[in-house]
Amino acid sequence: MDKLVERFIRYAKINTRSDENSKTCPSTPGQLEFAQLLAAELKEIGLHEIDLDENGYLMATLPANCNKEVPVLGFLAHLDTSPDFKSDNVQPRIQEHLGKNLVLNKDEGIVLSPLEFPVINNYIGQQLITTDGTTLLGADDKAGIAEIVTAMNYLLMHPEIKHGPVRIAFTPDEEIGRGADKFDVRKFGAQYAYTIDGGAIGEIEYENFNAAKARVSIQGLNVHPGSAKNKMKNSMLIAMELNSMLPSSEVPEHTDAYEGFFHLTDISGAVENTTVNYLIRDHDVKSFNKKKDLLIKIVDHLNIKYGPRTVKLIMVDQYYNMKEKIEPVFEIIVQARKAIQSRGITPRIVPIRGGTDGSRLSFMGLPCPNLFTGGHNFHSRYEFIPIKSMEKAVEVIVKIVELNAS
C-alpha cells in the first residue's frame, strides 16, 4: 500500500488525453509513452509475459502459485483520460476533508464545496486526492491502473496467498469508444475478467447502456434575406425544429438510474449547412430501438416538409448492455460481492450510465463486469478520490484472486 498513492500521482501527471479526431491507435502519443513506462514497472515488480504491442495494448501475467487447476482471471483498466476537459500539467493535491470547502485553487477561487457536491461528506476525516482546479485528475482510469499494479505487487510479495494465473491488461482510447477495437481476447486468455473503472467504493456494475451515435446533416438554401420569402431554407432553424421534436425530458440532465436519453453533443452550421450530433442511450433494448426509430421518423417527416434529401441521418450502434452476457456466469458477480463484503464494505450493484471496455469485451467472449476505483466527479476539475477507497479497491482485487483459487 505504501506505493499506491505515489503510483497514482505519478501516473496522473502523464498527459494521456485521447483524441476522437485522430486516426491512429492509440489516438495520442502520451498513451503509448505511459504504456511503455508501465511495461517497465511491471517487469520490475516481477510479472511475467509482459507484452506491449504497437497499438498500445499492454498485457502481463501473474503466474499461478497453487497446484490445482484454477480458471484464468483477468483485470483491466484504460490508459487514456477523457478529452472532455484539460489534462496537461495535472497537479494532484492531498487534502484532509474536515466538512468544509476544499480549496482547489486559491488564486482562481475554485473550491470543492459540500453544498454543490454533497457526496464529499461521506468522506469527512479522510484524505482525498483532488485537482488544483485547472485540470481533471485522471482517476478515470489511472486509479484503476494503480490499484491493479499495487494488487499484483502485493500478491508477488505474499506467496502465502495461493492463487491461479492472473492476467492484466491496460488498453488505450476507452474514453472515445475504441478501447476494445484491437483487443485480442484469445491472446489475453482469461475465462472472465473485471474492469477496474467504476466510481464510489463498493460499486459493482454489470448493466450498461445500449448505445448509438447519430449524425444529422441538414442542407439548407441561402438567398439574400431581402428576397428570401418562400425561397430560403435555414438549416439552423430546421436543426432546432428537429431537436424540439425529441422528448425534452429524455436528456442527461433530467434522467438517472435506468432512464435513457438523447444527448445533443454538438451543433455547428450556418444557413446553408448544419450538422448535429447525438448520443442515444438506454438500458432496455426495446426502449433503445424506439428511440432510434423516433429519430428516423422525425428525419422522414422533415424531408417530407422541406423536400427530399434536406435532412440526412447516419446512425451507428456503438455497444450493447452486457447484462445478457454476465447473467449466464453470475457467479463472478457473487464472487465480487463476497470479496467486497469481506473487506467490511457494503456492496452496491448499480447500472452504468455509460459504457466501459467491459461491455464490448463481454460480447467478444470475455465476460467482464466493472468494479469501483473509489473516484468521484470524473471528467471535471472537481474530480477527487479518497485514499482509503483506493486502498479498499486493492484489497478487493487481492481477495477476488484468492477466492478464484478456492
Q: Which residues are CB-neighbours of 234 under 8 A, at least 6 positions away?
A: 220, 271
Structure-derived torsion over alpha carbons of residues 266, 360, 176, 88, reported in degrees to the nearest 10 = 140
Q: What is the C-alpha separation between 225 and 206, in angstroms, rounded?
A: 55
Active site residue 253: no
67: helix, strand or coil = coil
Q: What is the C-alpha separation between 125 and 7, in angstroms, rounded?
A: 23
Q: Which residues are CB-neighbours of 145 under 8 A, at least 6 positions away?
A: 11, 38, 77, 79, 170, 196
Q: What is the C-alpha separation between 166 and 164, in angstroms, rounded?
A: 6
Pairing of strands 93-96, 48-52: unpaired
Q: What is the C-alpha separation between 182 and 388, in angstroms, rounded?
A: 34
Q: What is the maximum span of the chain, computed from C-alpha positions, in angstroms?
A: 86
Q: What is the C-alpha separation between 208 and 323, in angstroms, rounded?
A: 7
Q: What is the C-alpha separation between 135 and 146, in angstroms, rounded?
A: 20
Residue with cell 469501483: 372
Residue with cell 497537479: 91
**Of 141, 147, 173, 174, which residue is the catalytic one?**
174
Q: What is the C-alpha separation between 35 and 12, in angstroms, rounded?
A: 13
**Of 80, 141, 147, 250, which residue is the catalytic one?**
80
Cα–Cα nearest to 335, from 282, 399, 251: 399
Active site residue 282: no
The residues annotated with a catalytic role in the active site are: 80, 174
